[in-house]
Amino acid sequence: MAVSYKELGLVNTKEMFAKAVKGGYAIPAFNFNTMEQMQAIVMAAVETKSPVIMQVSKGARNYANATILRYMAQGAVEYAKELGCPNPQIVLHLDHGDSFELCKDCIDMGFSSVMIDGSSLPYEDNIALTKKVVDYAHQHDVTVEAELGVLAGVEDEVASEVSHYTKPEEVIDFATRTGCDSLAISIGTSHGAYKFKPEQCTRDPKTGKLVPPPLAFDVLHEIEKKLPGFPIVLHGSSSVPQDEVDTFNAYCGKLPDAVGIPEEQLREASKSAVCKINIDSDSRLAMTAAIRKYLAENPSHFDPRQYLKPARENMKKMYIHKIVNVLGSNDKL
């Protein structure tokens, strides 16, 4: 039986994004697959008084089961209240939906927001698919994120060797004809822990670490001029913090030359019309680095709670850092 997100205490992105664009901050969109990630996200959002988007990919649904994840999101609302937040602002969002049927299924089971990612399709096909999802979603007061332009790297099953920046001259036509509520754009970010190849970077002579090329802020500003106040989304925005990579590698991990988006650039983007910033890899890294360290230091321990507790703590610390020091969404509830 279909259920509305409103019955679950969730909210859509409409008001949240309008406030974020006006206030010059961005809403964190954190992916989750496990209970520990969900708990860490809620604890961080409550402690910092931040609205938050909890997002679920197709892969997460396959891994954890769609029904379980939906109930976990409902549980997240109740958990936030239990932690002392009387009116949590939590969105349950489908990340990288790749078909009308998947988006409809999520809407029918209580998601408050969906992404339809038609970015790999020809322009007119992207418009037609996005509009079909928007027409259904809006009947249920569910908000829709669309994507225009292609990110380099792997977008679920869609692989793209190069990044095709969003063309500013297309955004008015696309937003008007689809009726989408927000637009994910390509300005140089990409998914995963290897956002740039070493040959795209320079090396810091002091540390020897790779320094990535800057994001295409000129493209972002062009888009902002075309669509004043329209909510813009950045995918692939993990920073791949060096201290976590160092811990990961110190305990038998192998992530040489991993490189993410510098936080100063995300801070700058948050002040613009960019009002949703997607972070998944940093959470994976925080979790796995902590687990590697714990298991190496405690070789006789075998109770998962023993190593998942520091993993959860480390993710919570990272989420709080993003909210307060990068996106600026704290103290908004």
Q: Which does 60 bind (CB under 5 to 8 A by kind): ligand G3H, Zn ion, ligand 13P, none?
A: ligand G3H
One of 113, 163, 270, 278 touching ligand 13P (CB under 6 A): 278
Q: Does 280 bind ligand G3H (CB under 6 A)?
A: yes
Burial class from Cβ neighbours inside 10 Å (0-12, 13-18, 19+) for residue 186 reads buried
What Cα–Cα distance (Å) separates residue 54 from each residue in 112, 119, 171, 235, 252? 10, 22, 26, 14, 31
61 binds ligand 13P (CB under 6 A): no
Pick 26 or 80: Cβ nearer ligand G3H: 26
Of 306 and 325, CB closest to ligand 13P:
325
The number of angstroms, rounded, from the C-alpha of 188 to the middle of its chain's C-alpha atoms is 16
Q: Taking CB under 6 A as the rule, does residue 59 contact ligand G3H?
A: yes
Cα angle vertex 137, ends 273, 61, to 5°? 90
179 makes contact with ligand G3H (CB under 6 A): no
Closest CB 96 distance from ligand 13P, rounded Å:
6
DSSP 124-152: HHHHHHHHHHHHHHHHTT-EEEEEESB-B
- Minimum CB distance to ligand 13P, residue 306 (Å): 27
The listed partner (ligand G3H, ligand 13P, Zn ion, none) that binds 59, CB under 5 to 8 Å by sort, is ligand G3H
> Please, where are the H alpha helices in the chain?
14-23, 35-48, 58-64, 66-82, 100-108, 123-139, 168-178, 217-226, 242-250, 263-270, 281-297, 304-321
Q: Which x/- pattern over 79-98 shows residues binding ligand G3H (rule: CB under 6 A)?
A: ----------------xx--
In the block, tokens 């970010």 appear at 189
Quick check: 263 binds ligand G3H (CB under 6 A)?
no
Q: How far apart are CA 11 and CA 91, in angstroms?
A: 5
Least distance (Å) between residue 34 CB and ligand G3H: 11
The C-alpha atoms of residue 333 and residue 331 are separated, in whole angstroms, by: 6
CB of 122 to ligand G3H, least distance (A): 22
Among Zn ion, ligand G3H, ligand 13P, none, what does residue 238 contact (CB within 5–8 Å per kind)? ligand 13P
The only residue of 13, 50, 130, 238 in contact with ligand 13P, by rule CB under 6 A:
238
141 is catalytic: no
Interaction site with ligand 13P (CB under 6 A): 31, 95-96, 191-192, 235-238, 278-282
Catalytic machinery residues: 95
